[in-house]
Amino acid sequence: MKLILGSSSKPRAELLHEWGFGDFEIVKPDINEKSVRDDDPENLVVMIAEAKADAVMPHVSDDSFVITSDSIAVVGGEIREKPDSKEEAYRWIRELSSGVPLDQVTSVSITRAKDSKRLSAASRGTVVFDPLPDDGIAQFVESGDVFHFAGAYVIEDEPFFSHIQRIEGEYETIVGLPKKLTLAFLKELGYSH
C-alpha cells in the first residue's frame, strides 16, 4: 500500500510525519483553486480537496491511498483564501492582532485508488491571537511567505505561534490537516502502515 499526499504544503507533510506516516510520496495537484467556488466554507474546501484528488489520481498506482486537503480562513463571515497583495495581508493580520477570532475551515479527502472509493469532510477550528509585534508582521509579509497561506497567517510559525491566546477545536485542523478525520478515513478505507 502506498500513501500519497496530494499537496505541496510543508505543514501537511510535517503533520503526517508526526502521526507516524514516514513513508509517503508527494504528488502536487495541478489545479486552479480559484476556478472552484461555493459560498459555504465547508463545501468549498471539500470541493477543492476533491478537485485536487481528481488531478492526482491519474498519476498513482492502484495500491495507493491519496490524501488531499484544503484550508480557508473565515473572519467575520468573510472567506479568506491566500491574500492577493501585501496590503491585503497587512490588513488581515492587523485584524487578527486586534483579537478578532479566525475560523480555520480545513477539509480532508482520501481516495482509495483501486476502486476510487472516496471519503471527504471538513473540520473547523478557531484561533484568537494576542497583539502581534509589528516587526514580526512585517518580516512575515515582506518575506513573501504570506502568499502561501489562507488567511495570511501560519499558526505554527512566528510571529503567530507565541501569540496564541486560545484555540478552540483541533490544532491540526488549524495547521492544515484534520487529524481525527484523516486517521478515521484511512482506517475505514483499509489503509494500514
Residue-wise pLDDT for 175-191, tens only, equals 999 999 999 999 999 99
- Which tens digits make up the pLDDT trace of 82-107? 999 999 999 999 999 999 999 999 99
Instruction: Tell which residue, 78, 86, 81, has the closest CA to residue 150.
Output: 81
Tally helices (H) and strands (E) across the chain: 6, 7
Q: CA 117 to CA 136: how far, in whole Å? A: 44
Instruction: Tell which residue, 36, 22, 184, 15, has the closest CA to residue 110.
Output: 184
Q: CA 47 to CA 121: how far, in whole Å? A: 10
In this prediction the pTM is 0.93
Give phi and psi for 68, each to the nearest 5: -130, 160
Cell numbers describing residue 138: 512585517
What beta strand segments (E) does the chain contain? 2-5, 25-26, 64-75, 78-80, 102-112, 117-129, 164-168
Domains of the chain: 2-188 (3.90.950.10)
User: What Cα–Cα distance (Å) separates residue 96 from each residue in 101, 139, 155?
Assistant: 7, 16, 12
Residues in the chain: 193
| Active-site residue flag, 70 | yes
> What residues in the chain have per-residue pLDDT under 70?
none
Residue pair 97/129 in contact (Cβ under 8 Å)? The answer is yes
Q: What is the pLDDT of residue 35?
A: 80
Please count the other Cβ atoms lying within 10 Å of the Cβ belonging to residue 114: 13
Catalytic entry in 40, 54, 62, 70: 70
